[in-house]
Amino acid sequence: MNDLVLRDVDVVDGSGADSYRADVAVDDGRIVAIVKEAAAAGCQRPTGTRLLDAEGLVLAPGFIDMHAHSDLALLRDPDHSAKAAQGVTLEVLGQDGLSYAPVDDRTLDEVRRAITGWNGDGSDLDLDWRTVGEYLDRLDRGIAVNAAYLIPQGTVRVYAMGWEDRPATDDELLRMKQLVAEGMEQGAVGMSSGLTYTPGMYAPDAELTELCRVVARYGGYYCPHHRSYGAGALEAYAEMVALTREAGCALHLAHATMNFGVNKGRAQELLALLDEALDAGADISLDTYPYTPGCTTLAAVLPSWAHEGGPEALLGRLRDDATAERIRHHLEELGSDGCHGVPVEWDTLEISGVTEPGLTGFVGRRVPDWATARRLLLEDRLGSTILQHVGHEENVRAIMRHRVHTGGSDGILQGAKPHPRAYGTFPEYLGRYVREEGVLSLEECVAHLTSRPAARLGLRDRGLVREGYRADLVLFDPGTVAAGATYENPRVLPTGIPHVLVDGRFAVEDGRRTDVLAGRSVRRAAG
């Protein structure tokens, strides 16, 4: 007698193969039997403590969010419906080079302030870990969905040498390599960078290459937010391909977009660059979200030199009129490296969240000028987040079709009006780009969201509907699945996803979030 049997369900197994009708039995957290065309064959059907008539629903592996910013949200909000309701059963944390382990007390305090806009300042939580392993142990106490972790290169740099804009000394580089090795040994799946964020952007290629060699030694991958998604984007992609090939390290390109006016219609140039490298033997994958605007902190668009010394040093420069004028000049006339080398167009920046209650009137409004931006940065102490309306639909569509594409929400859950991708990425793929517009077939899209990311993460028992695999599963109605989140109402849950299982237990049942916390850390396999 199994725990659960799903009867007469249409299985889209994650491999890209055609769907088929089957009974699927789950027991003790794993898929234990798949009986194809069980009703028609007249064979012995599996039995279970619970039978669920799933006719009309698609059964797929749980979706893997390859780019998530739920590092504190998973601890703060046990419900976590933003992801669970989408069918996400695994998130990859530690993105863009800045997160909360490994740290000492100084580093933790500084990083908390630097990425308040992504995750809140953490003052509502007991941040009782310091190492990667201790953070993963904290997740293992029980979370809504599973989570893997990337070692954040920017945090490692802060730990070893602070926020200085200079090459590391030999001793500092050795310390960074030790921190990366320790994190990989404790279960991280790779390393991330934020190369338009400080202090990650201060690292020269030689430093990054040495760290990637360590990651490669443990079978992990490098996930850079590279140095430009605007002016010089193709050169930035080529830089990451060359760097990782020299290091012998697998490469996963984070939110692999081509943005700003200079890149309109240029996705095929990026894909040609990647195809050439893949055909020559490079190990490359990428993720995207199915939307055109980006999302980040308002402070992120400032030039890198303004951030040197950390958050308090930046606030001091913003208070000084002469230095603030120099920042404006870089932003508006020269093109800030924080704004991807493109002179800022203020009307493309929309305030999505603030931390100071007195500033909530700015949420949902475009930033009119530097004076307003400066006021927000100072009064919100760098906590403001923005939507950046700089993407192109034709680029989004072209990249999502690529042979190494996977899905990643890049979902920031903070702010009164977050990007709808945080609540809508996966049903948006299935509803809009599969059912409504046919950009991808259902079977192909599910493979992008399940088996491909599982392969990148090195997971041997997730990402497919197979006997013996983990029962991280989603059931959805292919005729009605859709994102509910919009730019106007971004916290609306999706429709058409009635059931989500994490480790064989219902995290979502009949469209409602249960109190199950079956998620745990998913650690890099040894050896």
Q: Which two tokens stand for residue 154?
A: 């920017």
pLDDT in tens, 16-44: 999 999 999 999 999 999 999 877 777 78
pLDDT in tens, 343-400: 999 999 999 999 999 999 999 999 999 999 999 999 999 999 999 999 999 999 999 9
Query: Global pTM?
Result: 0.95
**pLDDT above 70: percentage of residues in the chain:** 99
Strand, coil or helix: 226: coil
Q: Are 394 and 266 in contact (CB under 8 A)?
A: no
Q: Are 195 and 235 in contact (CB under 8 A)?
A: no
- What is the rounded average pLDDT of the residues 40-57? 90
Question: What local confidence, expressed as pLDDT, does residue 527 receive?
Answer: 47
The dihedral sign for the CA sequence 314, 319, 321, 327: positive
Tell me the CA distances in angstroms from 336 to 303, 349, 418, one per residue in order.
5, 15, 24
Average per-residue pLDDT in the chain?
Answer: 96
Question: What local confidence, expressed as pLDDT, does residue 526 receive?
Answer: 61
Looking at 140-295, list the stretches that DSSP marks H as alpha helix, in order from N- to C-terminal side. Answer: 153-161, 170-185, 205-217, 233-247, 267-279
Strand, coil or helix: 240: helix
- What is the rounded average pLDDT of the residues 81-106? 98
Confidence check: pLDDT of 221 > 80: yes
pLDDT in tens, 469-511: 999 999 999 999 999 999 999 999 999 999 999 999 999 999 9
pLDDT in tens, 315-344: 999 999 999 999 999 999 999 999 999 999
Confidence check: pLDDT of 278 > 80: yes
The dihedral sign for the CA sequence 270, 271, 276, 282: positive
pLDDT in tens, 222-272: 999 999 999 999 999 999 999 999 999 999 999 999 999 999 999 999 999
